[in-house]
Structure 1
Amino acid sequence: MSKFLSLFSPRLDWRWPVRRWQRWWQGLSPVHQDRLVSIVPLISVLLFLAAIASAFTYFTQLEAQREQQEVTRDVEYAQQRLRLRLLEPHEPLQRMALQIVNQELDPFQFSTAAELLAGRFPELLAVSWLDQQDRVVATHAAALAPAQLNRSAGQPVLNEETGGALGVAREIMQPHFSRPLGGLGPDARLLLLLPLTQHGSYQGTLLVEYSLELLLRLGVPGDVRTRYAVALLDLSGNVMAGSVHQFEPDGLILLPWTGQPRSFQMAVAPVGPHLQLRATGYRISRDAAGEGFFWVVGSLSLLTIWMLLTNLRHTRRRLQAQRALQSETLFRRAMENSMLTGMRALDLNGRITYVNPAFCSMTGWSESDLVGAQAPFPYWPASDVDKLHIRLEDELSGRTNAGGFEMPVQRKNGSTFFARMYVSPLIDSQGQQTGWMTSMTDISEPKRIREELGASYRRFTTVLDTLDQAVSVAPLNSTELLFANRMYQTWFGSTADGHRQLIQLSQRSGATRPDGEDHQSDGLAGLPTDTLFEATTDHAELFLETLNKWLEVRTRYLTWVDGRLVQMVIASDITARRRAEQQAALQQERAEAASRLITMGEMASSVAHELNQPLTAISNYSSGMIARLQQQQISEAELLEVLQKTAKQAQRAGQIIQRIRAFVKRSEPTPTPSDAAQMVANAVELAEIDLRRHLVRLNTYVAARLPQLLVDPILIEQVLINLLKNAGEAIIQAQRPVGQRQVELCVTPRHIEGLPVIEFSVRDNGRGIPPEQLERIYEAFYSTKAEGMGIGLKLCRSIVESHHGRLQARNLYNGQEIMGCEFSFWIPTLAALNP
């Protein structure tokens, strides 16, 4: 037996855990030993406090769960009693409904049976028999029922409350409980609707109304109501019957779940979720002794923790000085090793005493190669030794620039890079200077980028200087000129005066500001400018007398390189283009005058015929007066009448001649406010001469009270005369009979493209225009007439479009046959052009 125990004696030795603990403890540093000595008691006290709190919490929750289970069990029991109370009168009600359907029960007998049923079940407030139209056939209301339940025969019961329940019962054809009705308090009631059906057809409804207050009082057992606040609630949580206990704690509640009343809520069957039964306990069981014990233990534990923390703080202060030096040394070493800037220290004699790893990495020389070295240093290029010697003497004497200096550095592999050096004195702890500290930064890449940017800027300025446009950039409300190309300097010099002058003139050429704000002020200060940058470029055309040039000026807002909001101006010389436009306008005017002369030349015979009538009348009147005067057979009254007729005919001939002279007179287009009716009358007076000669009837319709137009009346009359003349020629070419030769001129106000306009339309009953030629009739020198010149319609279209209008042509059809043509054009009114 002793041999057997000796085999396991090492494992049964109680001293081996102590030895292992001693070895582990001795392996720790003094710092860690002190920390463990301070922390272990603190952890022990915290674990003890956690154990007490866990135990108290566990038993409190266990008691709360027991109470909650008891409440749940009682509510379920009460709900079963309510369910039985609701279903108990269901059988006699079904029997009563069957008797009604089988016509075994008249209204009097129904009232008697309902009264007996209400006596057995006091919670029944009313029992009503409804017909197919939801009107009362017979009813019985209990003595305690509200007044609105005392219904009379024939009275409809359909209202906002009962309508939905009656509709559901009629749809499902099954007994149905409604949601609680009648509001809150004693008037709250519940409807039971039993549809009366025979062979699947709806015959009416048996309406039973329960009092929720009596249902709660009679259905819930008394012992439950004595221990809980029992209430019936709807879906919204409103109390329909009963009461809700309002809990107010009577003292300090240690844990949240120890001070809450126990409550449970569930739906009442068979009503469904519309009716909820809720019970809340009146009393809260609290373990005052347990809570007091918890407070005592917690207070003692907190006092112990405070004492341990105080001791730990004193221990840390004692070890702080020991760790400070080590941490500072390690931090400085880590900082020097992690820096990307090369650091080099020189003594007062120019000998290298220290270099950091970044300096060695940049130069390629190791620390052993550099420390202790004197000038010339290994990283000096051979070609710059003399220059760098002078630079070193300036460093040692303190004659260096605070902004540093550039110098070439040669790596160990022979490659060279540029570095910027910054020199500062090296001061020891006694305040004495022991040398110089130099920091070195590789600037090869920034230097390359700076050179590329300089080259890019030179290319950019070269391109802009070769442009034919003047480009300038200046801040808002400033006399500073940020940029100007060569063309700008040629035109305006090197100041910002030309820039401001172009902006002012371009703003004056557009719409003026309603508030009269000075264009020189920065009206955009403080406002978001994102939309300014996304906006399209504004432009204006203006004439500079100092340059004797027409310029097209474009402006745009930009964000300058320093973040300021600036305005760029681009001015282009458009003098040649403006002169070409003026020449084209002059040619257009000459073509219009030539067209009028051609029109009058074609109408010459008609005009001569028209003038022949007043001249013949004048001659006849004169001959008659001479003959009668010679015979002395005329009185003064007759002579006056003949002279008046002669003067009238002479005035008529003069008006015809003046109208022709005004029409063919060459003048500059002068848009003026004009009357459309007067222009139509003038054009009709000239065009009707030629139309009457060819026996063509002209029907004119001009709407009353037409608004004024901003047009040149002579040009619009030219368009009307040309269209009327073309209409007459189209009728003659179609060889229409004299009775069918008819031209219609209609002038009416309309709204086109959202603008108030006046439309002029000329209709004829000629052969129309071939459909394949409709797109070409406005081309220059193209005509559908054999003797036509092809310039009339093109001029008409140009005149109409110059007045902001549109000219169009369309054929008139009778089925598939062309029965004529209509030319129409519209011009915006004066109010539309000047809103």
Structure 2
Amino acid sequence: MAIRIGGQAFLSLRSVWQRWFLWVLLALLVLALLGTVVWLAGRHEAEQVQAALDRDTADAAADLRAGLQRNVQGLHALATGGLDRARWNAESAALMRGHREWLRLEWRDGALRTLAAADTPYRITLFDEAGRQSAQADVSLACTSAHKLEGAAYSPSHYVALPESGGLEVMELCVPLEAGGYLIATYALRDMLIELVAPTLRRGQEVSLTEPDGTRLASVGTARRIGSRVFSTQQLIDLPGTALVLRVDGWRAAPDVFPNLLTALVTAISIALVSVLVLLARDTRRRLRAESDLADTLAFRKAMEDSVVTGLRARDLQGRITYVNPAFCEMVGFSAEELVAAGFGEAPYWPTELAHEYQKRQTLRLAGGLPPREGFESVFMRKNGTRFPVLIFEAPLINAHGVQTGWMSAFIDVSEQRRVEELSRASQERLQASARLATVGEMASLLSHELTQPLAAIASYATGSLNLLQGAEGENAEVAMAVRRIAEQADRAGQVIRSVHDFVRRRDRTREPVAPQALLDAVLPLVRLQARKLDVRVEMVLEDGLPPAQCDRTLVEQVLLNLARNAMQAMDMPELRERVLLLRVARAGSLRVEGAPADMRHWLLFTVADVGSGISDEVAKRLFTPFFTTRPDGMGLGLSLCRTVVEQHGGVLMYEPNRPRGTIFRFTLPMA
């Protein structure tokens, strides 16, 4: 029995060794084949690239010679029939417009004195009389060669400095005239490359003109890329009187694979591959018989796992995901391949803000920490970025030998349960808010009813006092002024109470045209009173020629007063040295605000700006929520009522940060 078991182990070990040997042999052959293919392909493509570059350079040199010859013919055509100053200005200007490579065209006599000249319209004027005297030697050399050759001749290139910085490499062309004298065209070598060399050659390559000794004169095209291979070729441009070299440098990355292999090498390697594959096929048939038995077992298990709605996930002892069922994939929105390929570290379904906490929990679990038997709650993130709560149950994953190989986790999506709980909670909050608003409405109606008579009495006493103080002088006049202000504020308080009463009862208010200046003047005394207490400087800016606003004057004044008070209270900070409250009214114009009318040309824009602490993101989410306030003595109804008043007028109330600090509140009202 022991001999049999030992023989089976020996045969199994021998089978494993043969299988690995065949795979290693196949891998070596494939690597040899690929290496040979890449080497041959790279060599072949490099030769092709160099050949193509040589052809392109030869074509470019031919184009350059042909272009220069055409230019000589154009100068001969200009001199046909004799030159005179009447023809010179028009024809030379037309010729310069058609030749961007020319910087200057000159008509000189036999002693090389300038009779007339035309500069290119595409550059600033480069040459003056002093500048041309410095190039006289090159011009003389070109014209001497032209006289000897009885045809066009070129001068060697020379450098011309630009007025501001840098300079140009130029070359002179001299064409003798039959009637005596010369036509001299000054070439810019770089512009000559741009105009006379095909643009397809400059795309992806660097084209340059050099002297025969290699000195670079001018270049155009693409600069060399780091890490690229250089392909270079040259063509001699032999011109009368001088010689230039056209050099083309092509930059190219590693050559692409080109499918052209030596037949004998491919055949030999293919025969070896087929031989190895035959041996592998024999081994594969034996393995297929064993895998067929496993397939039935796996299919049965997979059918069971796919039928459950609970998400399942298996991890090894290093924390890598080894298995997930379809329910888990559907839950998080990732495919099984994406989850398994995630490897060790942060899982793709972990929220970014909670990834560090989950990483610590996973490290604790891998260290042997046991999870609670009743499970625990967590938050996962779907592939589209949405979060959802899950209930997690984890247990050790034990193999057939009793050794723990990882962890098995079960997940239940509790988002629907949480949604029902949230709806119930929101309904309770809405009921409580409705009850509080109803109480506020009753209190407002009661206060408006109870305060009407005291305010009427205050107004009567103030009127009587004014009658007694009528015609008073000195200190009594100041008392009369104070009593008059008491009467005005009492009347204003009565109007506010009536407006609040009508607002709570949803009565239609009568709206009238009111000048923006009048709205600000009505609230300015109260604003300045509080501003003096808080050491706030009030600035008021009104655009010229503003039309009146069609509004409920009392309610809009309360909106302005409430926003101004909030702004001043936001600046009540000891460290704030300069406190400025800005009140501004202007036409809305082309303002685009969400919820506002499409055409803002018939609306006024009111602005209240402060330099306080600003509004945090947490406060901004609940800024207009009733009964929400950040002040201990606040009720949380001011901004909510302000927005309601503005929206009843058809406008919109908005806010934004005031740079560098503070907040800007704006609201719109229709023009009368």
TM-score, normalised relative to structure 1: 0.26
User: Which structure is larger by alpha-carbon Rg, 1 or 2?
Assistant: 1
Higher relative contact order (CA 8 A, sep 6+): 2
TM-score, normalised relative to structure 2: 0.32
